């Protein structure tokens, strides 16, 4: 019971981190591509575009771009689209249009609609999910990347949207793309999988946990740390992890990553995910290797600094608490108390 409560606590903390991540991603896109005032339509103009979409009138790429911009940080405009019968269907229609520009802007509309609440996310997922998943295979890299970001936003809107995406084949397609050689696409795929796995929790079928864990060892830890941590909360993680990760090799990879990360400013969330991942593994051998790193490399001052740093101290304490249960005699605890 205590272990279940602890895992639920760390999942809640992870949910908060993911929500913050989605807001930061939205704000970054907003700042980078913020439209000029005359290109950003007011609610009346949004209503006009919604009515054109509803009546199957021709909509230009410029109008779709303006609509996309209007949805970035305006819940009222999102409501206009979702409450105008046929408007969402019109956006979905443009997803399969012949013009690449219109397809790209329509995907952007879905991406920003996905930043709405759980109800909005579910509605958009049911209507647009299959088209966005199909666009992942586009020969146009920008379309594939934007589709993955959109799917990530939709998944992040709530567990119901994620369950629909799972049924639509989204997890299978994204997992397949983890091995692609295009880093920008892989980054967007990881973003989508993080949100899907976080929302689905133990409802994510073990076959996907197994498949994802068979691929992650090939990626840099700086890319895979977040997804590894999310999967470490899954009931089948330990069994699947041991099948695909060589423990000694993985520990060396973690220690190298940590030795580089802790010398930098501690605002990199990946260091948090690494600590939480090690804590969730609950492996005596891993704990011993991990704790010994601080002692053998004269890094106790770094561990103490981590414990005093707000961004990471909860995760470090979580790890130390789990380690103490089975390694209470380890030198690191004596040095911390001295």
Please give the structure tokens belonging to residue 230.
């999310």
Integer Cα distance of 93 and 177 in angstroms: 25
Residue 36 confidence (pLDDT) above 50:
no
Confidence grade of residue 266 (pLDDT, cut at 50, 70, 90): low
Stretch 255-281: mean pLDDT, rounded? Answer: 84
**Cβ-based burial of 217 (10 A; exposed 0-12, middle 13-18, buried ≥19):** middle
Higher pLDDT, 265 or 66: 66
- Establish how many alpha carbons lie within 13 A of residue 93's alpha carbon, considering only the half-sphere containing its beta carbon: 15
Stretch 22-29: mean pLDDT, rounded? Answer: 49
Residue 169 confidence (pLDDT) above 80:
yes
Stretch 28-43: mean pLDDT, rounded? Answer: 51
pLDDT at 337: 87
Please give the structure tokens belonging to residue 114.
């996905």
Residue with tokens 């999942």: 11
Lowest mean pLDDT among 138-142, 252-256, 316-320: 252-256
- CA distances 181 to 24, 170, 178, 218, 253, Å, are 26, 20, 9, 11, 21
- CA distances 197 to 24, 191, 226, 253, Å, are 20, 10, 11, 23
Residues whose CB is less than 8 angstroms from the CB of residue 337 and which lie 6 or more positions away in sequence, other chains included:
none
pLDDT at 258: 82
Stretch 57-62: mean pLDDT, rounded? Answer: 91
Stretch 317-331: mean pLDDT, rounded? Answer: 95
Residue 25 confidence (pLDDT) above 70:
no
E strands in 36-171: none
Q: Return the HEC string of 235-252.
A: CCHHHHHHHHCCHHHHHH
Higher pLDDT, 249 or 200: 200
pLDDT at 27: 47
Integer Cα distance of 13 and 37 in angstroms: 37
Confidence grade of residue 21 (pLDDT, cut at 50, 70, 90): low
- In the DSSP assignment, the letter for residue 38 is G
Q: Say what the pTM is.
A: 0.86
Lowest mean pLDDT among 63-77, 126-140, 208-222, 265-279: 265-279
Residue 4 confidence (pLDDT) above 70:
no
The beta-carbon contacts of 56-63 under 8 Å, at least 24 apart in sequence, are 56/90, 56/93, 59/90, 59/94, 59/102, 60/102, 61/99, 61/101, 61/102, 61/104, 61/105
Lowest mean pLDDT among 8-12, 187-191, 248-252: 8-12
Write the DSSP assignment of 270-310 as a string of letters.
HHHHHHHHHHHH--HHHHHHHHHHHHHTT-HHHHHHHHT-T
- Establish how many alpha carbons lie within 13 A of residue 254's alpha carbon, considering only the half-sphere containing its beta carbon: 27
Residues 179 and 211 sit within 8 Å (Cβ to Cβ): no
Stretch 59-88: mean pLDDT, rounded? Answer: 93
pLDDT digits (tens, 9 = 90+) for 216-265: 999 999 999 999 999 999 999 988 888 888 888 888 888 888 888 877 76
Integer Cα distance of 163 and 198 in angstroms: 11
- In the DSSP assignment, the letter for residue 139 is S
């Amino acid at each position: 019971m205590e272990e279940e409560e602890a895992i639920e606590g760390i999942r809640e903390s992870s949910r908060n981190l993911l929500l913050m991540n989605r807001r930061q991603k939205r704000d970054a896109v907003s700042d980078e591509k913020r439209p000029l005032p005359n290109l950003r339509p007011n609610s009346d103009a949004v209503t006009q575009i919604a009515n054109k979409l509803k009546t199957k009138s021709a909509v230009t790429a410029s109008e779709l771009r303006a609509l996309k911009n209007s949805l970035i940080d305006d819940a009222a405009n999102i409501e206009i689209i979702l409450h105008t019968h046929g408007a969402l269907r019109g956006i979905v229609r443009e997803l399969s249009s012949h013009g690449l520009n219109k397809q790209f802007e329509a995907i952007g509309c879905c991406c920003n609609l996905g930043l709405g609440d759980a109800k909005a996310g579910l509605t958009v997922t049911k209507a647009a999910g299959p088209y966005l998943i199909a666009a992942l295979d586009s020969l146009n890299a920008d379309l594939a990347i934007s589709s993955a970001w959109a799917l990530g936003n939709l998944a992040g809107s709530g567990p119901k949207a994620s369950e629909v995406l799972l049924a639509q084949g989204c997890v299978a397609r994204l997992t397949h793309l983890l091995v692609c050689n295009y880093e920008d696409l892989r980054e967007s795929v990881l973003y989508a999988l993080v949100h899907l796995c976080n929302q689905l929790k133990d409802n994510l079928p073990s076959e996907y946990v197994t498949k994802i864990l068979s691929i992650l060892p090939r990626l840099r830890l700086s890319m895979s740390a977040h997804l590894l941590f999310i999967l470490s909360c899954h009931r089948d993680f330990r069994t699947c992890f041991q099948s695909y990760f060589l423990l000694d090799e993985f520990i060396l990879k973690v220690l190298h990553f940590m030795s580089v990360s802790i010398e930098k400013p501690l605002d990199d969330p990946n260091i948090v995910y690494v600590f939480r991942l090690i804590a969730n593994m609950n492996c005596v051998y891993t704990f011993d290797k991990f704790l010994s790193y601080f002692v053998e490399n004269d890094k106790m001052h770094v561990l103490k600094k981590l414990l005093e740093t707000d961004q990471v101290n909860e995760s470090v304490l979580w790890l130390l608490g789990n380690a103490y249960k089975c390694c209470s005699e380890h030198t690191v605890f004596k040095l911390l108390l001295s």
